[in-house]
Chains A and B, each alone.
Chain A
């Protein structure tokens, strides 16, 4: 097995507002190895984005309470000094945000926005060298270098997302966090962007943490999958393990697959998961999924957190398997 790049240990995030406490991320354990693509899957409010932002230390300072460990290259990033984090952001860990329309600065040319990252992390480069690097990176993401003098509004949605990716890979990071990188794009453009990200990932050999709610993209892109619900990782394993229908799965994973309309067969009715995703401020006692679970038992309601059932690399957190 390859080397560990990032290890998240017993990690929690809580948001405190007025009198409400939202438990967004609860005792999460995740490991990303070098050169690996990990898909983090979950619905709105499952805590995916909070986890990602926490890795980069981007959570709001006064409302977010963080505890646990995030070990990156042997050092704990939780509570690290801002100066150290700034040296890591963009250089070693970088992020592609969900909405390319609002994450680019509208008043700077795209070439300048890419150059910014390069200059920040390597101030010895001359103007010419930086410009050359910008051209190379634009070519890598499939944008003609002649367009670097244009402003974001002159680009289409798909092209803007390519610019975002260019900024993220400018310093050849070890870890790339992609937060729903294609949600705002059309299917045909999404296919282009995913294909490009996959070939870039192979070329650069970086690890990717892909946050998404689309199991189709996960099947196409990831090596490992973690399913998140109510701020917890409920199932975790390799792509083959999680997508293998003959294996046992967490009831939530099962429900998620069943509620997808399948384009290869025609079914009369979909089988949705009953009920609603709980708000992180009103998480139920016991297993977080029990009010919606078809196999709910007494122990799920009362007992604490369900035990983690480990089978090789495949982990399921559920009472059913104990």
Chain B
């Protein structure tokens, strides 16, 4: 295992903490990239779409149901386009981490059926993207979209529903094997009282639904509420390694960090559970520059990176093109706001299927059509996409293409671009 070059390390920084470099960004060097990505000044970004409350269809009214579904689909499209646009335009690591948290606290519009709630959750991911995991966990355990997604709406005194309590421990804060069935049951009781009205995008606490009797969680007894339960989970020593491990898995490598690396990252996380500090510590780790820390780009990362390179913005696409972009992502297996399960998206070889290969080329062809491309050489398209080097195989493959749009579309499907080396 060797170390990647300095230029490749800069490119890797942009791949993993942004959505890939725009042309020329790598030239500024590693330290400049760190300053830019981890800067703390807030980015304005485009304001989110105005999502009005969707009318409720009366039971049995097929026409009204159809209209409501159409309205919701329109809002979902507007929302996904807005987020993709922010990803493309983002200067800092914020959007990349917002995307990470969406996969971590994986919640799908498929069941939530409220674009307004999905937007509110998304804004929470953004606001806490590089902040304290404590704050983020507190926000998520009473988040309206999460409550709908994991049936917490039905969790009330006398009839606890365990779905949210279990996944919060297993997938969000601790990992499997770090809690008992009693902990899950008691935690569900701690989470009672929080509900979301059918027409609302905000959760509220209804005291009479809350079970205020003492609960015993992790062997401690008290009148624990939602926040207290989250604190108990986060205070378990296994939680820090779990959260840090999840960041590593998605941002650095499918191979877990060594014990020494993990210890340094957990120290950076600290009692404040500081995500930004973990990110900065990751960048300083030798393993971050290891040649073996290559990752298959997730479809959204690949598409957003390509749009950054092409200097095109989803916000400027017409509706038909926006729909096609989402259809392309669906064909590759990944649509924002629609993870396949609460366990989040798969990784690695899962993205390299035959059907995804076809969808990738089609989406690349669609996106290059939106760009203004000048005459390009094979090396010119390498620079445009920010690829370290083409293999002889890829050089040969691209040599027959003269049309810049065709050249760029095929180059974007090259293994050297599909994988973040």
Question: Are chains A and B native binding partners rather than an unrelated pairing?
Answer: no
Q: A residues near B, CB below 8 A?
A: none
